[in-house]
A and B are shown apart, each in its own frame.
Chain A
Amino acid sequence: MKVNVVSPWYPDRSLGQVYSGAFVQKQVQALQKSGVEVSVEVPKIYRHPYRTVPASIDNALLSMAKLKKERVFREVGEATIIPSAVPKRSSMLQRVKSIERYLKLKRSIIPVTSQIEHAHVALPCAAALLQIAEAPLVITEHSSHVRHECQIPEVAELYREVIRSADIFICVSSFLQNEISELLDLEVSSSWHVIPNIVDFSLFPFKERNQYEYRSWVYVGALLESKGVTELLKVFHHYKVHHDFDVELTLVGKGPLEGWIRSYCKRNGIVDMVKIEEPVPPEDLHLIYSESDLMVHLSPYETFGIVSLEAIANGLPVVSLRNGGSQDTWEDVSSICGLLLDKSSSISEISDAINSWRSSPETLNLREASEIIRSRFSPEIVTKSLIEIYKGLN
């Protein structure tokens, strides 16, 4: 069986993108391990600084690629990067058209001969494939941007068209599936499925911890406001002042809030207790978890939330919000592996809740939680469901 995957993200370590699309790569590698032949196309957006993208850019790419295709279409592992020029301040519809154009250009040089096209995210990738895919189209939706993009009526209409035209529409959680169904006013049909992301548990061996003091907090992810990082810092500060002076926080990641975090720490006298670490490759994350005894992840919205699952698998308790993904993936085991709080909780409520919860460690059973999580999201289990869907299309 041959599958061509189209994804807007894929890890490219030469450009510092360690986490971007790591879950797509895991799925690709798991499929390959199961004997599926997989090619990967990654449209990479190159923003043109003007309102029109001139045809001479396409001509330059084409003539360079004819001489030596790797000069334009870089190979990154199993993926081929496809440069896609988009005009400045482009709309989603313009991005779709641009990606469609450059996918065509790439395929005129390096053809795709797959029996199935699998697009990750409906917009822009699946929409760009609608006119050019010759094989059945499978879509996996992960994106948390759907609700913002679909505020624009023509984007919502395009999204509906994409779902209606696709052979299979997969969401990574039932939370996301329900949200899209409501947002687009579409009924969940037989072509809609829920298949979770793969968690590569081989990178997160279970580590027995003798005791949990909840003094080494860790956060892994982009340093963005939308990921609840400002709330995390405030909760940490409140907790330190009111409950435990010896607590420390390690933030692993980078992002626009880095400056804000440093200034906040300086202002509140917590510089020595908060460390910001550069993103580390997934295979090294367990080393960071080993030095921590609590993950605190206060993102208010997650379509899946892979980092919490990796932490639980490693034996690290997690404090998180009911953010969609967490309810779908580990709420039923939260009593033995962490604490789930309502999104509306205030800074002091979260801080106080962590303090009350840490005084009853007897309820924790991280080993059992780790096993349950492994039985749900391991590469073998997820890939089996995906291959069954592929087979149904052939």
Chain B
Amino acid sequence: MIAIVISQSERIKELDSFIHDLQSKNISFVVICPSEKVLSPMFDRLNHPVIPYLSDSQFRKLNLQANIDLLRANVLLRLRQGSTLGVVIEKLVLAIFRTLRVLKSGVKRKKAPKSLISSSHIAEGSQWFSPHHSYLLRALNDLCSTAHIERIEVFDLQDLVSIQNDSGLEEIEIQLR
């Protein structure tokens, strides 16, 4: 069996295609994610085993960004439900964001040297783990104790750091997808 680990909803469509591919090859799998809400945009079509490793309240608390993304996805979904007004509002909002981006870059340029603006924001130093990493590892280790996992397919780099550093999983092949 293959364990698929995903924590951000923006790659759900890719996950959908990947699962489709696995099914066509008759490969069994299980999806491990912080909450079923991450899969919500496609969950109706996902008639597959899913292991959520956070409760709803933990998910809300630990994944503020995920919640914001989810809210954004829901707003977009509603805007795109069929009204022309929705399309106009979306265009307007995007135009506002684009203008703000241009204005913000102007302010930044005045305030900071170019090297700082163009920094790729890589923080050197201590080991970093995602806020939900202990829950993820617990779910994965529990799964490994009850099923034979041949490979872990990881969709997000933040999860890769946790999985790759866990001694309990070092026998299992890890593949970044």
Please list the residues of chain A having a beta carbon within 8 angstroms of any beta carbon in chain B: 13-17, 46-58, 60-61, 63-64, 71-72, 74, 83, 85-88, 90-91, 93-98, 100-101, 148, 151-154, 225, 230, 254, 256-260, 262-264, 266-267
Shortest B124–chain A CB gap in Å is 5
Q: Is B114 an interface residue (CB 8 A)?
A: yes
The answer on a CB contact under 8 Å between A266 and B98 is no
The answer to whether A57 touches B161, judged by C-beta atoms less than 8 angstroms apart, is yes
B84's partner among A49, A90, A230 (CB-CB below 8 A) is A230
A343 to B118, CA, bound (A): 37
In the complex the two chains form, is B176's CB within 8 Å of A85's CB? Answer: no
Q: Does B40 contact A (CB under 8 A)?
A: no
Q: Which of A49, A55, A61 contacts B160 (CB 8 A)?
A: A61
A-B contact count, CB below 8 Å?
A: 146
Partner of A47, one of B8, B84, B122: B8
A267 touches B87 (CB 8 A): no
Contact B157 A46 (CB under 8 A): yes
> Which residue numbers of B lie inside 8 Å of A, CB to CB?
8, 10, 13-14, 16-18, 20-21, 65-66, 69, 76-77, 80-84, 86-87, 90-91, 98, 101-102, 105-106, 109, 114, 117-125, 127-129, 156-158, 160-161, 164-165, 173-177
Q: In this complex, what residue of B is CB-closest to A64? A: B164
B66 near A49 (CB under 8 angstroms)?
Answer: yes
Residues of A within 8 A of B128 (CB): 54-57
B76 to chain A, nearest CB (A): 7
The answer to whether residues A64 and B157 also contact, given A148-B98, A225-B91, A263-B82 and a CB cut-off of 8 A, is no
A225 — which chain B residues lie within 8 A by C-beta? 87, 90-91
Contacts of A16 in B (CB 8 A): 13-14, 16-18, 20
Let me know if B164 and A60 touch, CB within 8 A.
yes
Taking CB as reference atom, which chain B residue is nearest A15? B14
Contacts of A152 in B (CB 8 A): 101-102, 105
The 3 closest A-B pairs by CB, nearest first: A263-B82, A16-B17, A97-B120
Contact B174 A49, beta carbon cutoff 8 Å: no
What is the bound-complex CA distance between A55 and B177, given in angstroms? Answer: 20
- Asked if A49 and B91 sit within 8 Å, CB to CB, the answer is no
Task: Name which residue of chain B comes closest to A71, CB basis.
Answer: B175
A56 touching B105, Cβ below 8 Å: no
Tell whether A60 pairs with B160 under 8 Å between CB atoms, given A55-B125, A260-B82.
yes
Provide the main secondary structure of the chain A interface.
helix
B123 proximity list for chain A (CB < 8 A):
52-55
Inter-subunit contact B118/A96 (CB<8 Å)? yes
The chain A residue with its CB closest to the CB of B17 is: A16
Whether the pair B80, A47 counts as a contact (CB closer than 8 A) is no
- What is the chain B residue whose CB lies nearest that of A98? B120
Option from B66, B98, B109 in Cβ contact (under 8 Å) with A151: B98
Contact of B164 among A46, A49, A63, A98 (CB under 8 A): A63
Knowing A54-B128, A230-B84, A260-B81 are in contact, say whether A46-B174 is a contact too (CB < 8 A): no
**29 A-B residue pairings within 8 Å (CB atoms):** A14-B18, A47-B10, A48-B158, A49-B8, A49-B69, A52-B123, A54-B122, A54-B161, A55-B124, A55-B128, A57-B128, A60-B161, A61-B160, A64-B160, A71-B175, A74-B177, A83-B176, A87-B121, A94-B121, A97-B118, A101-B122, A152-B102, A154-B114, A225-B91, A257-B80, A259-B77, A259-B81, A260-B80, A260-B82
What's the Cα separation between A174 and B141 when bound, in Å?
57
Besides the contacts A98-B122, A260-B86, what 15 more A-B pairs have beta carbons closer than 8 Å? A14-B21, A48-B157, A49-B8, A51-B121, A52-B121, A52-B122, A53-B123, A55-B124, A60-B164, A93-B118, A97-B118, A152-B105, A254-B13, A258-B80, A260-B87
Do the beta carbons of B117 and A49 come within 8 Å of each other? no
CB contacts (< 8 Å) of B18 on chain A: these are: 14-16
Question: Contact: B122 with A55, CB < 8 Å?
Answer: yes
Most chain B CB atoms below 10 A, which of A13, A60, A101: A60
CB distance from A146 to the nearest CB of B (A): 14
The interface residues of chain A lying within 8 Å CB-to-CB of B86 are: 260
Verify B177–A15 contact, CB threshold 8 A: yes
- The answer on a CB contact under 8 Å between B82 and A259 is yes
Closest to A151 in B: B102
Partner among B81, B98, B105, B129 whose Cβ is within 8 Å of the Cβ of A263 = B81
Q: Which of B69, B164, B174 has the most CB of A within 10 A?
A: B164
Across the two chains, which residue of chain A brings its CB closest to B120?
A97
Chain B residue numbers with a CB within 8 Å of A97 are: 118-120
How many Å lie between the Cα of A256 and that of B91 in the bound state?
13
| 8 Å CB contact of B105 from A63, A154, A260 | A154
CB pair B176–A64 under 8 Å, yes or no, is yes
A134→B21 CA distance, assembly (Å): 39
Task: State whether B125 touches A57 (Cβ < 8 A).
Answer: no
Looking at the assembled complex, report how far the CB atom of B104 sits from the nearest CB atom of chain A, in whole angstroms: 9
Chain B residues with Cβ under 8 A from A61's Cβ? Answer: 157, 160, 176
Which residues of chain B are within 8 angstroms of A257 by Cβ–Cβ distance? Answer: 80
Contact residues in B for A90 (Cβ distance below 8 Å): 120-121
